[in-house]
Chain A
Amino acid sequence: MRNQWGKPRGLVLLTALYVLWSLIPVAIAVRFSFNDGRSRSTWQGFSTRWYVGDPAEASSVLYDPSLRFALNQSLKLAMLTMLVATPIGVALAIGLARWRGRGSKSSNFLMLFPLVTPEIVMGVALFLVFDNLYDFVTFGTMAQFLGHVTFSISFVVIIVRGRLFAIGRDYEEAAMDLGASPSEAMRRVLLPLLTPALIASLAIVFALSIDDFVISQFLVGGADSVTIPVRLYSGARLAPPPSLNALATVLMVITIGAIVVAGLGVKYLGRRFGGGEDSALETVGRLEI
């Protein structure tokens, strides 16, 4: 009989092959963003010209208007979405966790629905409602912002609610026993305890928004509201120069930065109470593209 505690060689090999297959294409794309030539398949030496070079030719992320606008648009949208979706989601999480009366069950289902709805359905729905009913919403930044907030709220609720359940009600009740009013207990006890979930929410919403493709594309207004993923999509098949790889690499660095912030927030601020890291992984597992 085989030694059960030995190394499962087949599994190691398969996992290693999987990891290589999953990361090498992206690594090659990143490498060629630093190519000192127009090719994306023949290496001609290292250069940062596709990031910051050639003001005259306007061929780098910094100087090509279509690439720079996409970067601006993505950052602007992600910031706006983050600042609006997080407070709405935190309030909704607190409300749903505590409210037991009529309407709480259906509100809960309403909150879960965007999580399970395919993005293309939400994209069509928002497109049609802005086109036919909410005429005051213009396609472009405004429509994209409304769409991004709509799909982000539920993620904030899931993240914050996990933390709320882990904290329990004891601290708030203790505060109120010691003479705090309900709003003081909320402000001075519950909200500080929620800080790690708040940081995680801000960062995750930022990452979700900046990574979003489908909603951004359905609600795009014109050249000035093209985001990075939409730009990658429209440019990928047109034999683009390596500046498109550079733009994608910039997006990757920004997203990973946001996730690192979320992870650190949960790790360092969440130490005092259990349920932080575990539920963070759970939440990450639920995130769709």
Chain B
Amino acid sequence: MWPGFAIPGVVWLCLLFLVPFYAIFAVAMGRIDPILSRPIPEWNPFYWDPTVFGDVIGDVFGGQLGVIALRTIAYVFVASAICVAVGYPVAYFVSRKAGRWRWFWLLLILAPFWINYLMRMMSWVNLLSPDGQVNQLMSLFGVESLPNWLSGHSFVVVLGLVYGYIPFFIIPLFAALDRIDDATLEASRDLGASSAQTFWRVTWPLSRNGVLGGLVIIMLPMFGDYYTPNLLSGSPRTRMLGNTIDQFINQTTSQGAVGAALTIVLMVFVAGLMVYYLLTINRATEEARS
């Protein structure tokens, strides 16, 4: 009887998740129709043609794509590091030190979570536009040559990524910090540790999984992001891997094979993160079950 309940969902996910997932490989390893110059997917792995995929890989090692891939890694790592540096103290304060006003602070750090990402980015486009509030403020302070923030600055894109994703880092970390039993910290104090020692030797190790979980949650979508650099710069100087995928899939009709190959490259980048996340969720549910 129980498998019967699972059947509709399993069938749905097979047809609309597994098969599409496989389609990425079938298209990337397929051939190109010589007349229509459209990709023809090759569903049988024995006939896979690695020409397009090989070209893409060649470009990653030593071509323009290599620059874009390195840039993507750099953006994601810098943005993630800032998220940890800012997000950890915030999550720590709200979960352990906020006292009576905890619910209020929690509400405030949860708020961006439910405001649409594109709305939040649009707000910054607004503030940073040539006649926007940021430049108004700067001219108020007498700055004369006002910059165009949205013309392709790496730091604007990185700060945009931080702004966009940091709430998704703070919340799981908050949950992890919140789970630490006060008695553990009191025991550490009773045994003579200073507050700094207690933090570094008790709180931090106990919250490390929360940090890792939060990092995985923000790094997965960041690696595939294309809308943040597009909105906050739009310049080829800040292109990320996601932008190339967006370009070959959404903006051209005949380059599906290249887009698919790039998606495979992206998945290779994030495979470790995906596996870690998968195993964590699986372990959490196994524990809840027993």
Chain A interface residues toward B at CB < 8 A: 1-2, 4, 8, 11-12, 14-15, 18-19, 21-23, 25-26, 28-29, 32, 40-41, 88-89, 91-92, 94-99, 101, 103-104, 107-129, 131-133, 146-147, 149-150, 153, 157-158, 161-162, 165, 182, 207, 211, 213-214, 217-218, 228-229, 232-233, 236-237, 239, 244-245, 248, 251-252, 255-256, 259, 281-282, 284-289
The answer, yes or no, to whether B140 is at the interface (CB within 8 Å) is no
- Are B172 and A285 in touch, CB under 8 angstroms? yes
A98 and B2 form a contact (CB under 8 A): yes
Partner of B127, one of A4, A28, A128, A147: A28
What would 28 A/B residue contacts be, using CB atoms closer than 8 Å? A14-B93, A18-B86, A18-B90, A23-B108, A29-B122, A29-B126, A40-B126, A89-B9, A95-B4, A111-B9, A112-B281, A113-B13, A115-B281, A124-B260, A125-B23, A126-B20, A132-B27, A153-B13, A213-B116, A213-B118, A217-B250, A218-B249, A232-B119, A233-B231, A236-B125, A259-B114, A285-B175, A288-B220
B215 at interface by CB-CB < 8 Å? no
The interface residues of chain B lying within 8 Å CB-to-CB of A117 are: 21, 274
For the complex, what is the distance from the CA of A18 to the CA of B98, rounded to whole Å? Answer: 15
Given the contacts A94-B5, A107-B6, A120-B266, A133 and B19 also touching, CB distance less than 8 Å = yes
Determine the residue in chain A with the shortest Cβ distance to B280.
A116
Using A26-B119, A121-B224, A236-B125 as known contacts, say yes or no to A146 and B16 having CB atoms under 8 A apart.
yes
Instruction: Check if B66 is an interface residue, CB within 8 A of chain A.
Output: no
B78 at the interface (CB under 8 A from A): no
Q: A40-B126, A289-B168 are in contact. Are A118 and B16 (CB under 8 A)?
A: no
Residues A19 and B9 in contact, CB atoms below 8 Å apart: no
Q: Please indicate the chain B residues that have their CB under 8 angstroms from the CB of A103 in the complex.
A: 3
Please give me the residue from chain A that is nearest to B274 by CB atom.
A116
Checking B5, B121, B124 against A91 with a beta-carbon cut-off of 8 angstroms, the contacting residue is B5
Count, A-B residue pairs, CB within 8 A: 293
Does B142 sit at the interface, judged by CB under 8 A? no
* Contact residue among B23, B93, B97, B131 (Cβ-Cβ distance under 8 Å from A132): B23
Residues of B near A122 (CB, < 8 A) are 17, 20
Most A CB atoms within 10 A — which of B97, B123, B189?
B123
Bound-complex Cα distance A121 to B192 (A)? 51
Q: How far is the CA of A112 from the CA of B10 in the complex (A)?
A: 11
- Please name 15 further chain A to chain B contacts, defined as beta carbons within 8 Å, in addition to the given A15-B93, A25-B124, A125-B17, sorted by A numbering: A12-B93, A22-B167, A26-B120, A41-B132, A41-B136, A112-B278, A118-B266, A121-B24, A158-B285, A165-B288, A248-B116, A251-B116, A255-B115, A284-B171, A285-B175
Nearest B residue to A115 by beta-carbon distance? B281
Contacts of B12 in A (CB 8 A): 88, 149-150, 153
Alpha-carbon gap, A285 to B194, bound state (A): 32
CB neighbours of A110 from chain B (8 A): 10, 13-14, 17-18
Which 9 pairs, one residue from A and one from B, show the smallest C-beta to C-beta distance?
A: A95-B6, A92-B9, A95-B5, A120-B224, A125-B20, A99-B2, A129-B20, A25-B123, A29-B123
Q: Cβ of A282 and Cβ of B116 under 8 Å apart?
A: no
**Residues B118 and A233 in contact, CB atoms below 8 Å apart:** yes
Q: What is B's interface to A at a CB cutoff of 8 Å?
A: 1-10, 12-14, 16-21, 23-24, 26-27, 39, 41, 86, 89-90, 92-94, 97-98, 105, 108-127, 129, 131-133, 136, 150, 163-164, 166-168, 171-172, 174-175, 189, 194-195, 217, 220-221, 223-227, 230-231, 234, 242, 245-246, 249-250, 256, 259-260, 263, 266-267, 270, 273-274, 277-278, 281-282, 285, 288-289
Which of these, A89, A118, A252, A282, contacts B221 with CB under 8 Å?
A118
B10–A107 touching, CB < 8 Å: yes
Nearest-Cβ distance from residue B217 to partner chain A, whole angstroms: 6
Complex contact A14–B260 (CB within 8 A): no
Closest to B12 in A: A88
Which residues of chain B are within 8 angstroms of A282 by Cβ–Cβ distance? Answer: 175
When distances are taken between beta carbons in the complex, the residues of chain A under 8 Å from B150 are: 237
8 Å CB contact of B122 from A94, A104, A108, A248: A248
Contacts of B117 in A (CB 8 A): 211, 213, 229, 289
Pairwise interchain contact A252-B278, C-beta atoms closer than 8 A: no
B148 CB, min distance to chain A CBs, angstroms: 12
Once the chains are docked, how many angstroms separate the CA of A25 from the CA of B127? 7
Contact status A236-B121, CB under 8 Å: yes
Residues of A within 8 A of B24 (CB): 121, 124-125, 128
With contact pairs A128-B27, A284-B171 given, residues A92 and B266 touching in the complex (Cβ less than 8 Å): no
Residues of A within 8 A of B2 (CB): 94-95, 98-99
Q: Nearest-CB distance from B248 to chain A (Å)?
A: 9
The closest CB in chain B to the CB of A259 belongs to: B114
Residues on the A chain within 8 Å of B242, using CB: 120
Q: Contact check: which of A11, A98, A161 meets B285 at CB < 8 Å?
A: A161
Q: How far is the CB of A108 from chain B (nearest CB, A)?
A: 7
Contact (Cβ within 8 A) A28 B9:
no
CA distance in complex: A165, B119 (Å): 37
